[in-house]
Chain A
Amino acid sequence: MANVQAGVPPTEKALEAERAGARPRSDLSRQRLRSAWLFLAPMILVLTLVAGWPLVKTIWFSLTDASLSDLEGAKFVGLRNYYEYVDYGDGEGEYFGLLFDPQWWNAVWNTVYYSVISVTIETILGLAFALVLNAEFKGRSVVRAAVLIPWAIPTIVSAKMWAWMMNDQFGILNDMLMSIGILSSPVAWTADPDTAMWAVIIVDVWKTTPFMALLILAGLQMVPGDVYEAAKIDGIHPVKVFWKVTLPLIRPAILVAVIFRALDALRVFDLIYVLTPNNTQTKSMSVFAQENLFQFDKFAYGSAASTLLFLVIAFITLFYIKVARLDLGGRGK
C-alpha cells in the first residue's frame, strides 16, 4: 500500500485531498487557497459595492424621511413609511403608510396577476414550441433561429413595435382581427382599462416564449431516445407517453425555467412603463416604486416599496425552491 501511495505524484495527491475537502496540508494547497481568495476578491468587492451596499442603503432610506433633494439629511423615522397610526383623539384615527395604501396593493395585485397569467401561458406555449423543435424536420435550424428573434429584441423596442401594431386607428392587429371577424369595431388595446393588462401580457408572451421553449428544449434533448422506442414497441399511445414519460422527465427543466421567468415577471418595469404609461390597470410594483422615488419626490416611500418588493420576491423564491425541491446548490464535481 505504501508503495502505491508513493507512486502517486504529489500534485495529484494534493488535488485529490483538496477535492475531498480535506484540510490543506501541503504548501501547494495553501498557495492555491491563497490565490483562490485573491482571485475572488475583486469580484466580491464589485458585487458588494453594486448589490450588497445599495440594498442596505435602500432599506435604510425606507426607514427615514429622505427626499430626492435632501438624501444626506435623512433622519430615522422608524417604520412610519410602512405603517403609521395617526390618532385624531376621541377614539378616532387613521392608518397611513405603504401597508395601508390601496395604490400599493393595486400594484401588488397587478404584478401577481400579470406574472401568474403570463408565465402560465408562456410555459404551455413554450412546451408546445419545444416539442415541435425537438422533432426532426426539414428547415429545423431555420425555425430555431427565427424563434430567437423575439428574445434578442430589446424590451423597449418590442413595446414600441407592439404599441404601433395595437394602435387603435392604424394598428394592424385591429385590422387583422376585424377582417377575420373576431372584432366588430377597433379596440384601443393599450389605453382601454379592460384590455391594457392583456396588451402587456400579449407582448410579454411574444417576447419570452422563445426563451422558455429553448430551456425546455434543452431538457427534452436529455431524454434518452430508447425510452420512446420502448414505449412504441409496447404500443403505448403517444399522448400517454407524453404525460407518463416525457413530462416527468423534463419536469426539472420546466421548474427551473418557470422560476427564472417568474422572478423576471415579478420585477417587470420596462414593458409596462413604455407600453401603458400612467395606467393604474397595469402599474406594477417596480413602476410604483420608481414613480415614488423619482417622480413624486417621495424618496423614502419609494424605498419602502422597493424593500417590500425585494422581500416579496425573496419570500416567493425561497418558498418555490422549497416546494419544487430544486437543487440550486450548484454542487458538482
Chain B
Amino acid sequence: MPYVVKRTGFYALVVFIVLFSVFPFYYAILTSLKSGTALFRVNYLPVDFSLANYTSVLTNGVFPTNILNSVIVAVVVVAISLFLAVTAAYALSRINFAGRGLLLLTILAVSMFPQIAVLAGLFEMVRAAGVYNTLFSLIFAYMIFTLPFTVWVLTTFMRDLPVEIEEAAIVDGASPFTIVMRVFLPLMWPALVTTGLLAFIAAWNEFLFALTFVSNNSTRTVPVAIALLSGASEQEIPWGTIMAASVIVTVPLIVLVLIFQRKIISGLTAGGVKG
C-alpha cells in the first residue's frame, strides 16, 4: 500500500475516534442553546444562540440547590475517604503483618460489590439511624465505593516508594502517625489529587443510592434531579432544559478531566490490578 493511502486511512480513523467521543456532548450543547420550535429541527451546526434554557433551569425550581447538594456530598466523601485511606494504605504497604494479603483481597472484593446487594440492608440502617432523606445517608453510603478504591490505589502508590525515606524518621524515633503525616503526605500529593478526583467523579455521578435514600426534591443530587426533570405531561419532555442541566453538571467534570488528564490515566490504570 502506498504511504499516502496508509496515512490517510490512519487519520480517517483518528477523526472517527474524535467524532465518536465528542459528538454526543457537542450535540447536547447545541440543543441546550436552542429554544422554542427550533428544538425540533435537526441541525448539525450551531444556528441559534439562546440562553433561555439555562436561565430557566437555574431560576425555576430547586436545581441550584441540587448542584450544591452534589458538591457537598462529593467533597465530604472525598475528604473522609482520603483521610481514612492514607493511614490504612500506609499500614497495608509499609508494614508486614499476618493477614495483609487477605485484607487486600477483601478490599478489592468490596470494590466489586454490586450496589444492589447492600441496598436493602443499607436502607434499613439509614432509616434506623434517622438519616433517611438527608445528605448524611449518601455521604455514608458512598464510602462503599470510594473507600476501597482510594485505599487500593494509595497502597499501590506507597508500595513503590523507596525504603530509605522512612529509615531516617524511624531512627529519629518518629511515631508511625508522624511518619505518615510528615514523611509520606508531602510525597503523596500527586496520588492524592488523582484518587481524590476519581472519587469525586464517582460520588458526583452516583444514581442508585441517591434515588433510594432521598425522596425530597430539594435534598436530591444532580443525577436524580436530571433523571426526574419532566414537563407538564408525559408527551412534553423538556429536552432543552434537560440538555442545559446536563451541560451545567458535565462541563466542570470535563474541565477537571482535561486539566488532570495524565494523572487520571495513571490513576485509572493503577486502580486496575496488575495481571
Binding site for B on A (CB under 8 A): 9, 11-12, 15, 18-19, 21, 28, 31-33, 35-37, 39-40, 42-44, 46-47, 49-51, 53-58, 60-61, 71, 128-129, 132, 135, 137, 139, 141-162, 164-165, 167, 169-172, 175, 206, 210-211, 214-215, 218, 251-253, 255-257, 260, 263, 266-267, 269-270, 273-274, 285-286, 289-290, 293-294, 299, 302-303, 306-307, 309-310, 313, 317, 326-333
Cβ contact within 8 Å between B159 and A333: yes
Which A residue's beta carbon lies closest to that of B104? A330
Name the distance in Å between A129's Cβ and chain B's nearest Cβ. 6
Docked Cα-Cα span, A51 to B109, in Å, equals: 10
Known A-B contacts A54-B122, A148-B261, A327-B274; the reply to A309 vs B117 at CB < 8 A is yes
Query: With A50-B141, A161-B243 in contact, do A149 and B257 touch (Cβ < 8 Å)?
Result: yes
Contact indicator A170/B114 (Cβ below 8 Å): no
Say yes or no: A160-B242 contact (C-beta < 8 A), given A51-B113, A71-B127, A290-B212: yes
| Range of interface residues on B (Cβ < 8 Å) | 35 or more
- A54, B105: Cβ atoms closer than 8 Å: no
Nearest chain-A residue to B84 (Cβ)? A43
Check B114–A267 contact: CB distance below 8 A: yes
> Taking the nearest CB of chain B, how far is it from the CB of A174, in angstroms?
9
- Tell me if B103 and A21 are in contact (CB < 8 A): no
**Lowest 6 CB-CB distances: which A-B pairs, in order?**
A252-B275, A54-B121, A57-B121, A267-B114, A310-B117, A54-B118
Query: Which positions in B face A, CB cutoff 8 Å?
Result: 10-11, 13-14, 17-18, 20-22, 24-25, 27-28, 31, 39-42, 44, 84-85, 87-88, 90-92, 95-97, 101, 103-105, 107-108, 110, 112-125, 127, 140-141, 143-144, 147-148, 151-152, 155-156, 159, 163, 166-167, 170-171, 175-177, 180, 201, 204-205, 207-208, 212, 222-224, 226-227, 239, 242-243, 246, 249-250, 253-254, 256-258, 261, 264-265, 268-269, 272-275
Checking A55, A143, A299, A309 against B14 with a beta-carbon cut-off of 8 angstroms, the contacting residue is A143
Chain A binding surface SS class:
helix
CA A294 – CA B170 in complex, angstroms? Answer: 54
Q: A135-B10, A148-B257 are in contact. Are A328 and B167 (CB under 8 A)?
A: no
**B170: which A residues are within 8 A, CB to CB?**
11, 15, 28
> Do B18 and A146 touch (CB < 8 A)?
yes
With A and B bound together, what is the CA distance between A142 and B239 in angstroms? 30
Partner of A55, one of B113, B156, B243: B113
What CA separation (Å) do A156 and B156 show in the bound complex? 31
Contact with A328, one of B10, B249, B261, B273 (Cβ below 8 angstroms): B273
In the complex, what's the smallest C-beta–C-beta distance from A209 to chain B, in angstroms?
8
User: What is the bound-complex CA distance between A70 and B229, given in angstroms?
Assistant: 31
Contact: B258 with A145, CB < 8 Å? yes
Contact with B121, one of A39, A56, A128, A142 (Cβ below 8 angstroms): A56
A132 touches B13 (CB 8 A): yes
Residues on A with beta carbons closer than 8 Å to the beta carbon of B22: 146, 149
Contact in complex: B25, A149 (CB < 8 Å)? yes
Q: Specify which of A49, A150, A172 is in contact with B21 (CB 8 Å cutoff).
A: A150
